[in-house]
Structure 1
């Protein structure tokens, strides 16, 4: 079974994303900020990460940069999921190592489509 971490400071977003990903066959772990997610990744690198941008403690962009420095951190597929929608944010996320980008609000079709595009499904 493939694994995924949902990283978002909103409990509701994590709950919705978990339900969608579990229905797609993923084992899901949750983190409410980038630091917590990085701690999880240091123990076990997941196949995929659904990542929010704006979070306390460590934001999504800083988390992504740190993740890519970990052993095997470059193998994880990262899909940013955020309200940041201007082109400069998208370019910055891709430059930092994001594989795809989803705008909030999202639904199961969007998540499934993006996870297929990055090769997780």
Structure 2
């Protein structure tokens, strides 16, 4: 069973991801912003991060940059960025910050599960 940390300030988005991923057999924790996510990462191991871009206190790209600057194993955790920003500049910025993959919201259930499984090393 994989463990996923969802980092998004929107409660409905977190609930949507949690419902889908728990039914797929994942353990899901939630953080409201990058600061909270960094604190949770120091206490718990995760197989994957799902990160929004636009959040208060610490946005998703700042969070990823801070995470990738830390020591292993934290900096090696795969990160899927899920955002409403759809431009190629947004994708490039996410990759530069340390995202492993970028998807545009809203995410269909099958797309979310497939990407989470692949990025967390689970069989499809």
Alignment TM class, shorter chain as reference: over 0.9
C-alpha distance in 1 between matches for 2:45 and 2:92? 25
Unpaired stretches in structure 2, ≥5 consecutive residues = none
TM-score, scaled relative to structure 2: 0.90
State the partner residue of 2:64: 64
Residue 65 of structure 1 deviates from its aligned partner by 0.8
**Contact 2:33/2:59 (8 A) holds in 1:** yes
Unpaired stretches in structure 1, ≥5 consecutive residues = none
C-alpha distance in 2 between matches for 1:70 and 1:29? 21
C-alpha distance in 1 between matches for 2:52 and 2:40? 16
Alignment of 1:15-34 (within 5 A): 15-34=15-34
Residue 20 of structure 1 deviates from its aligned partner by 1.1
Residue 70 of structure 1 deviates from its aligned partner by 2.5
Residue 119 of structure 1 deviates from its aligned partner by 4.4
**Contact 2:49/2:78 (8 A) holds in 1:** yes
State the partner residue of 2:94: 93
Moved over 4 A (4+): none
RMSD: 1.3
SS of structure 1 residue aligned to 2:67: helix
Residue 112 of structure 1 deviates from its aligned partner by 1.7
**Contact 2:3/2:26 (8 A) holds in 1:** yes
State the partner residue of 1:112: 113
C-alpha distance in 2 between matches for 1:88 and 1:118? 22
